[in-house]
Amino acid sequence: MPLVVGCPRRGPPPRPAGRAQRPPPPHSVAPKRASSSSSSTTPPLLTTRRAASAASLLLAALPPFPASSPQLPVASAKEDDEAEAREGEGELELELERYTDRDEGFTLLKPVSWPKVEKAGATALFQQEGKGSNNIGIVVNPVRLSTLTEFGTPQFVAERLIQAEKKKESTKSAEVISAEERSGHDGLTVYEIEYLLDSTRGGMKRIFSAAFVASRKLYLLNIAHSDSQEKPLDSQTRNVLEQIQDNMDVAAHIRKLFRLKVHTSIDEHPKYSALSSVADQQQLRAYVWTLQ
């Protein structure tokens, strides 16, 4: 059943287990969070294109990933200007629905009114109609890591991400608001990063990112929304965007694979025969092979 979001709540939305509760933002502007940076020696950044999105910049910040990482598209300034003229007053009302990609093995919530668009470099991309700079992008790439903790802390990853943003000519300023770690299903480690980005491409935006590694793949969620001084991000819309960020996880059929990794004889395990398709069984075999 779709989850309708748009009416005032009596309290904050429920949080996933293991996630620290965020303090409510004063008015419509999120509070600034202190974030620590790592003092360890950092590996060189990979080259990024000028139009690289936050998700692809994080790919560039992690050395085990290929240099030819896909880039999420960025809306043009003209697109944003045309959308501003069509936007109504008041808070944004969004009805959420679940989207699951069985081939790549992830699931998340998305606004019903944001259609999926096909763009090169994005595993999945959903845009607000008429305002492409408000979007949800997902990139999935193979990696040589089994978890993000092998690379560094959330704060370390956030600082590397900001460093990469500041190298872009279009960036005016970039500031980390928060960098946290939460637990997904079956103990999956998820990093969540929030930051402000002011650029010549789309103006001031607030970015909500989530990242995790599963089955030797890096999953990157990037939620971008305008947040200007003239029209700041309201608390209701922020709650919706945080809910989308908090619900990014591996798909249910992939979660079965994590529970089977302690078994050496896959074919004899009852959950293997219970998998719904040959494709799922093949994916299970491929996953267990990477653990060996």
Residues 76 and 125 in one domain: yes
* Residue 128 falls inside a structural domain: yes
Residues 191 and 215 in one domain: yes
Residues 274 and 175 in one domain: no
Please check whether residue 48 is in contact with residue 56, taking contact to mean a CB–CB distance below 8 angstroms.
yes
What average pLDDT does range 268-284 have in this prediction? Answer: 56
Q: State how far the Cα of 203 lies from the Cα of 125, in Å rounded to an integer.
A: 20
* Residue 234 falls inside a structural domain: yes
Give residue 61's pLDDT.
55
Q: Give yes or no for residue 102 having a pLDDT over 50.
A: yes
Q: What is the pLDDT of residues 133-189, one digit of tens each?
A: 899 999 999 999 888 899 899 999 999 889 988 999 999 999 999 999 998 877 889
Between 171 and 29, name the one with better pLDDT.
Answer: 171
Burial group, residue 198, by CB count within 10 angstroms (0-12, 13-18, 19+) = middle
Residues 212 and 270 in one domain: no
Give residue 30's pLDDT.
42
Residues 109 and 55 in one domain: yes
189-199 vs 203-214, strand pairing mode: antiparallel
Which residue do the tokens 């789309």 mark? Answer: 202
Between 7 and 209, name the one with better pLDDT.
Answer: 209
What separation in angstroms does the CA of 137 have from each of 29, 55, 277, 285? 23, 8, 28, 29
Residues 166 and 282 in one domain: no
* Residue 156 falls inside a structural domain: yes
Give residue 66's pLDDT.
36
- The Cβ of residue 243 has, within 10 Å, a number of other Cβ atoms equal to 18
Residues 156 and 287 in one domain: no
Residues 81 and 216 in one domain: yes
Give residue 233's pLDDT.
94
Give residue 115's pLDDT.
96
Give residue 103's pLDDT.
87
Q: State how far the Cα of 185 lies from the Cα of 188, in Å rounded to an integer.
A: 6
Residue among 19, 238, 62, 269 nearest 160 (CA): 62
Give the domain range for residue 218: 46-251
131-142 vs 106-111, strand pairing mode: unpaired
Q: State how far the Cα of 142 lies from the Cα of 290, in Å rounded to an integer.
A: 12
Strand partners, 214: 217
- Whats the size of the chain, residue-wise? 292
Residues 193 and 131 in one domain: yes
Residues 200 and 279 in one domain: no
Give residue 198's pLDDT.
96
Q: What is the pLDDT of residues 70-86, one digit of tens each?
A: 344 444 444 444 444 44
* Residue 126 falls inside a structural domain: yes
Q: State how far the Cα of 56 lies from the Cα of 168, in Å rounded to an integer.
A: 13
Q: Give yes or no for residue 51 having a pLDDT over 50.
A: no
The CATH number of residue 199's host domain is 3.40.1000.10
Residue among 121, 113, 140 nearest 218 (CA): 140
Residues 231 and 281 in one domain: no
The pair of structure tokens assigned to 233 is: 């991000």
Residues 211 and 285 in one domain: no
- HSE-CB for 224 with a 13 A CA cutoff: 28
Please check whether residue 107 is in contact with residue 124, taking contact to mean a CB–CB distance below 8 angstroms.
no
The domain tally of the chain equals 2
DSSP label of 190: E
Give residue 173's pLDDT.
95
